[in-house]
């Protein structure tokens, strides 16, 4: 672990959107306590504006270099990221990462490795881009009884949904622009299928509620099947469709998790969260409702978050994981009722979802529509069947 005031000698892995944003911010810093020694990349043929000895391709050189005391992992490959992060911590180096997929899948193991090697492992940039949500959960919510936490965690999906709602463009056109603007992951399916939001939710849940969750254990439904009719119907109901990652304590004191599109009305703070912005609402016993809002992606907002982690590590900061360590986390359940809007191709063989009550149903030439109450557990159990169909599914309200 870094001692306060100790000079940080840094190796950055990756030279993409986030790494370049971070390096620009580092260059603009005049404190003199941070020194960038190496940037490690993969592709030897790419044209770059950096040269050796700063630029290098051999990841193991950095791990053997005793001078380097901080590794900043900003690559887009979760398996390679895991190798880099684990090897760096085992070599006694502090680590910063923005890789939510890698962190969500291995969070408990990574916490243990950082402890065993007495190094800091910070990853504020992995959730909410420039929003310091993990830091807030660690600092202000470590003893708070949180009842609800969630919101818009994926910039690319929110950009697509905002453009469809506000300008009337088709899904495919909005996705193309989101990718061109650098908001989408290298594999945009991670964004639009809700998978990126799910990983972020898993990371938040461990900090907010202390509960480690397997990402595969969360019902996750994205926006890739959305069409203009869905947007039009939501507008008729005075709503916008937003992709929401949600963690909520139910009436029996159990935690309910999901990632799904929701109909969001003007009364919600999330209604006005547009384009690449993210918005997270926390509700807790003593702090009441708090709203976190800001740019959820892009080189500078995410790079600024990485820079904040760097500053924190230089001051000896580590995450405390207070609730996780105490082990006083709630039970997790999928047994939860919610009202959904479901659009399916007309006349097709339907997935047999159990509807508890139906409030509206209608059809046009192409599609059948239903608004009905169902159980999240049933949706989760039928998730593979549902994925095979071109259904669009959104929560209209919690029951
Ligand atoms: N973009 C955002 O707004 C954003 C926001 C929050 C979090 N994140 C996360 O931040 C990370 C980086 O995202 P990004 O958008 O900056 O990615 P990116 O623009 O696609 O850049 C990826 C970089 O990783 C490098 N790389 C891949 N495998 C490598 C390896 N094995 N060794 C060394 N370098 C390797 C690539 O090297 P080459 O240059 O040689 O190809 C490239 O420079 C990801 O985990 C992402 O999920 C991104």
Q: Which atom in ligand 1 lies closest to the alpha carbon of residue 78?
A: 45
Average pLDDT over residues 357-384: 96
Residues 95 and 147 in one domain: no
Kindly state the percentage of the chain with pLDDT values over 70: 98
Q: Is position 120 within any domain? A: yes
Is residue 243 situated within a structural domain?
A: yes
Q: Is the CB of 41 under 6 A from ligand 1?
A: yes
Helix (H) or strand (E) holding 248: strand 239-249
**Do the domain assignments include residue 136?**
no
Cβ(188)–Cβ(176) below 8 Å: no
Residues 317, 372 within the same domain: no
Domain extent, residue 181, equals 143-295+334-398
What band does 3 get if pLDDT is binned at 50, 70 and 90?
low
> pLDDT (tens digit, 9 = 90+) per residue, 64-82?
999 999 999 999 999 999 9
Q: pLDDT tens-digit profile of 258-275?
A: 999 999 999 999 999 999
Report how many helices (DSSP H) and strands (DSSP E) the chain contains, helices first: 14, 16
Q: Does 19 share its domain with 77? A: yes
Q: Could you give the C-alpha distances from 109 to 59, 106, 321, in angstroms and in order?
A: 22, 5, 13
Cβ–ligand 1 contact at 13 (below 6 Å)? yes
Give residue-wise pLDDT tens across range 197-242: 999 999 999 999 999 999 999 999 999 999 999 999 999 999 999 9
Whole-number Å distance, alpha carbon 113 to ligand 1 midpoint, is 23
Question: pTM here?
Answer: 0.96
Q: Please check whether residues 345 and 379 belong to one and the same domain.
A: yes
Report the atom number in ligand 1 closest to the C-alpha of 42. Answer: 40
Q: Which atom of ligand 1 is nearest to the CA of 21?
A: 16
Does ligand 1 come within 6 angstroms of the Cβ of 43? Answer: yes
Q: Is 200 a catalytic residue?
A: yes
What is the gyration radius of the CA atoms in the chain, in angstroms? 22
Ligand 1 atom closest to Cα of 298? 3
Say if residue 199 is in the same domain as residue 213. yes
Cβ of 302 below 6 Å from ligand 1: yes
Same domain? 180 vs 316: no
Mean pLDDT of 284-311: 95
More confident: 328 or 218: 218
- What residues are paired with 265 via a beta bridge? 239
Give CA–CA dist 71/112, Å, rounded: 18
Check 200, 240, 323, 334 and give the catalytic one: 200
Residue 137, domain member (yes or no): no
30 and 157 inside one domain: no
Residue 47 is part of a domain; what is its CATH number?
3.40.50.720
CA 10/CA 12 separation, integer angstroms: 6
Residues constituting the chain = 399
Q: How far is the CA of 13 from the centre of ligand 1 (A)?
A: 8
Is the CB of residue 245 less than 8 Å from the CB of residue 115?
no
Compute the distance from residue 301 Cα to the ligand 1 centre, in Å.
15
Q: Where are the beta strands (DSSP E) in the chain?
A: 8-13, 34-40, 55-56, 70-73, 94-97, 121-122, 146-152, 219-220, 239-249, 255-265, 277-284, 288-295, 337-345, 357-363, 367-375, 392-398
CB 337 within 8 A of CB 256: no
Residue for token pair 């990371």: 203
Provide the mean pLDDT of the chain: 94
Q: What are phi and psi of 336, to 5 degrees?
A: -150, 130
How many A from CA of 154 to the centre of ligand 1? Answer: 17
Asked if 198 and 215 touch (Cβ cutoff 8 Å), the reply is yes
Whether 353 and 378 have beta carbons less than 8 Å apart is answered as yes
CATH of the domain at 276: 3.30.360.10
Mark whether 257 and 316 lie in a shared domain. no
Residues 177 and 243 placed together within one structural domain of the fold: yes
Question: 17, 56, 72, 303: which to mutate for ligand 1, most atoms within 8 A of CB?
Answer: 17
Quote the distance between the C-alpha of residue 258 and its chain's center.
13
- The structural domain count of the chain equals 2
Query: What was the pLDDT predicted at 16?
Result: 95
The DSSP letter of residue 126 is G
Whether 298 is in the pocket of ligand 1, judged by its Cβ within 6 Å, is yes
- Inside any domain, residue 2: no
């Amino acid at each position: 672990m870094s001692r306060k005031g100790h000079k940080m000698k840094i190796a950055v892995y990756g030279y993409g959107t986030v790494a370049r944003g971070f390096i620009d911010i580092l260059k603009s810093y005049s404190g003199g306590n941070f020194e960038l020694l190496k940037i490690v990349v993969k592709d030897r043929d790419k044209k770059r504006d950096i040269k050796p000895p700063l630029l290098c391709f051999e990841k193991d050189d950095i791990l053997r270099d005793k001078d380097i005391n901080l590794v900043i992992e900003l690559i887009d490959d979760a398996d390679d990221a895991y190798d880099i992060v684990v090897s760096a911590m085992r070599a006694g180096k502090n680590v910063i990462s923005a890789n939510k997929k890698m962190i969500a899948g291995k969070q408990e193991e990574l916490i243990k490795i950082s402890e065993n090697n007495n190094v800091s492992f910070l990853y504020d940039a992995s959730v909410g881009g420039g929003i310091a949500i993990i830091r807030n959960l660690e600092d202000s919510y470590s003893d708070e009884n949180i009842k609800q936490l969630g919101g818009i965690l994926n910039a690319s999906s929110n950009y697509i949904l905002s453009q469809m709602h506000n300008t009337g463009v088709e899904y495919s056109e909005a996705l193309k622009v989101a990718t061109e603007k650098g908001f989408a992951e290298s594999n945009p399916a991670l964004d639009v299928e809700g998978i990126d939001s799910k990983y972020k939710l898993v990371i938040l849940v461990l900090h907010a509620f202390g509960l480690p969750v397997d990402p595969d254990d969360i019902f996750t439904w994205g926006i890739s099947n959305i069409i203009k009719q869905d947007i039009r119907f939501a507008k008729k109901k005075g709503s916008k469709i937003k992709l929401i990652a949600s963690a909520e304590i139910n009436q029996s004191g159990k935690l309910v998790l999901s990632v799904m599109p929701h109909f969001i009305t003007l009364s919600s703070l999330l209604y006005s969260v547009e384009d690449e912005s993210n918005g997270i609402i926390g509700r807790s016993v003593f702090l009441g409702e708090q709203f976190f809002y800001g740019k959820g992606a892009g080189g500078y907002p995410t790079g600024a978050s990485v820079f904040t982690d760097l500053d924190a590590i230089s001051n000896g900061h580590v995450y405390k994981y207070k609730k996780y360590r105490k082990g006083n986390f709630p039970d997790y359940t999928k047994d939860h009722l919610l009202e959904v809007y479901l659009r399916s191709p007309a006349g097709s063989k339907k997935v047999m979802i159990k509807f508890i009550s139906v409030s509206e149903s209608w059809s046009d030439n192409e599609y059948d529509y239903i608004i009905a109450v169902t159980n999240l557990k049933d949706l989760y159990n039928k998730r593979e069947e549902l994925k095979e169909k071109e259904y669009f599914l959104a929560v209209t309200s919690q029951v």
